[in-house]
């Protein structure tokens, strides 16, 4: 039987549904003022007692429901016992995200034509772990939903990393170039060895879809193209795995620089790569791995 805490006079709100333990807690602790409603299973009430108390104090409605109700509400069996209805965030512009790197240094992710919520969620979890300044989604008229499966798999990462959207990747890259942010595209083969390439401190890593990869036009516009070396036993890594490898390497180098113990080979990305056309027949994937 449902138990409800529902202030009178409230109408049914509109928002996006975020479910999963870590994703829900990140919202309830980070932007409670944007929460519209909470649905929670009885076995989760005790561990969310502080958050529910805060909801009651803020006159935000919450419902204690059965797991079957949550499954119907979220459309998933992986709801983990809680669902938060929250106001959707407005995506950042490419220029605004570029400003974060321009002011502080660091890296951005450009995710071109990636729509799979599982990949997006896994990438955002990695991005939060390695301190990405932001993630810019390009190549679609509207950004993919950052709720549901994406938010659950991100484990709170979507709340930690600003997400932007720009349908036209050319405009997005131009905004980055104006702030003198190096553009490093990724390909499954044909690029410079990631581990032997010096990456600028202010950089945007561009990843494309796993099957098609980045277009020749995007590769040609980049300041450089990197490939993750491997055995060649498989064609490429999953895009989220590729993001993890590249950002982990970038993090390692930063730690080495802090202790003056860098072992990175001094191979610089050539600026003229922006004008070079990739060789005919080059196979590129999602900025994942080399053969």
Q: What percent of the chain has pLDDT over 90?
A: 71
**Tell me, what's the pLDDT at 42?**
94
List pLDDT tens digits, range 246-282. Answer: 999 999 988 777 665 444 454 455 544 444 444 444 4
- Domain CATH number, residue 18: 3.30.1330.30
The overall average pLDDT reported for the chain is 86
Q: Are residues 147 and 19 in the same domain?
A: no
Q: Are residues 119 and 29 in the same domain?
A: no
List pLDDT tens digits, range 119-171. Answer: 999 999 999 999 999 999 999 887 777 888 999 999 999 999 999 999 999 99
List pLDDT tens digits, range 51-102. Answer: 999 999 999 999 999 999 999 999 999 999 999 999 998 899 999 999 999 7
- Domain CATH number, residue 121: 3.40.1280.10
The β-bridge relationship of strands 202-207 and 182-186 is: parallel
Q: Which residues contact 45 (CB under 8 A, 6 or more apart)?
A: 52, 64
Q: Are residues 80 and 109 in the same domain?
A: no
Q: Are residues 71 and 152 in the same domain?
A: no
Please report which confidence band the pLDDT of residue 235 belongs to, taking 50, 70 and 90 as the band edges: confident
Position 188 in a domain: yes
**Tell me, what's the pLDDT at 270?**
56
Position 291 in a domain: no
* 115/30: higher pLDDT: 30
Residue 224 predicted with pLDDT over 90: yes
Residue 22 predicted with pLDDT over 70: yes
- The DSSP string of 227-266 is EB---SSSS---HHHHHHHHHHHHHHHHHHHHTT------
Token pair of 253 as six digits = 């180098």
Using CA atoms, how far apart are residues 152 and 244, in angstroms rounded to an integer?
18
Position 280 in a domain: no
């Amino acid at each position: 039987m449902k138990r409800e805490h529902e202030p009178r006079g409230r109408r049914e709100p509109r928002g996006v549904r975020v479910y999963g333990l870590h994703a829900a807690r990140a919202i309830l602790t980070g932007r409670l003022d944007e929460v519209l409603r909470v649905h929670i299973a009885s076995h989760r009430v005790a561990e969310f007692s502080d958050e529910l108390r805060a909801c009651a104090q803020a006159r935000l409605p919450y419902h204690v429901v059965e797991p079957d109700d949550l499954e119907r509400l979220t459309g998933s069996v992986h709801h983990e016992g809680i669902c938060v209805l929250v106001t959707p965030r407005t995506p950042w512009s490419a220029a605004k995200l570029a400003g974060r790197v321009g002011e502080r240094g660091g890296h951005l992710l450009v995710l071109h034509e990636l729509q799979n919520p599982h990949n997006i969620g896994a990438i955002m979890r990695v991005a939060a772990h390695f301190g990405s300044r932001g993630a810019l989604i390009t190549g679609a008229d509207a950004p993919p939903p950052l709720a549901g499966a994406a938010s659950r798999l991100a484990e709170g990462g979507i709340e930690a990393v600003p997400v932007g959207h720009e349908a036209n990747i050319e405009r997005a890259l131009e905004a980055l170039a104006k702030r003198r942010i190096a553009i490093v595209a990724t390909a499954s083969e044909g690029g410079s060895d990631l581990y032997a390439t010096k990456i600028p401190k202010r950089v945007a890593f561009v990843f494309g879809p796993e099957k098609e990869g980045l277009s020749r036009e995007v590769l040609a516009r980049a300041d450089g193209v990197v490939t993750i070396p491997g055995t060649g036993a498989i064609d490429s890594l999953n895009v989220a795995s590729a993001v993890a490898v590249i950002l982990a390497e970038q993090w390692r180098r930063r730690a080495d620089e802090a202790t003056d113990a860098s072992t990175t080979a001094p191979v610089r990305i050539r600026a003229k790569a922006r004008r070079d056309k990739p060789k005919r027949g080059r196979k590129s994937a999602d900025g994942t791995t080399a053969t």
